[in-house]
Amino acid sequence: RWAMPGGIEDEKDQGAKVPTAVREFLEETAATHSNKAIDVQDELLKAFGAARQVHRGVCPKEPRNTDNMWFETTVFAVDIPWSLAHGLALQGTDDAKGAALLEITPSLIASLHGDHPDFVARALAA
């Protein structure tokens, strides 16, 4: 099932949520741009400067939760400028089988992994 990129904060992130989110996005999508003059990481960091936090806390629908362990996350809504989105090439790496920019439709939202339908709904409302 499709899910948004995510992962665990590294020590090098120094507790900063935005660098963690950008690093995880790049690790899971191997994002490159057709315009070699565009630095994808720098452009994502700029876009995340205006990110809106839409969730922070437990993920109650995460299927990997157990009685002794549960997943928590911080979710951001980010507007990616067309100059970056157009020409962005993604591929699945790390633990992602695939990566793509997808049109948000009701059927896509309903088919997302775990709590991701709720996260997308919150992002659209933000």
Note the pLDDT tens digit of each residue in 65-124. Answer: 999 999 988 898 999 999 999 999 999 987 788 999 999 999 999 999 999 999 999 999
**Token duo for residue 107:** 């059927």
Residue 30 CA, distance from chain mean position: 13
**Which stretch of 3-7, 37-41, 77-81, 106-110 has the lowest confidence by average pLDDT?**
3-7
- Whether residue 20 contacts residue 13, with contact meaning beta carbons closer than 8 Å, is answered with yes
Strand partners, 73: 57
**Token duo for residue 5:** 């990129």
pLDDT of residue 47: 92
pLDDT of residue 15: 65
Closest CA to 4 of 82, 84, 107, 104: 104
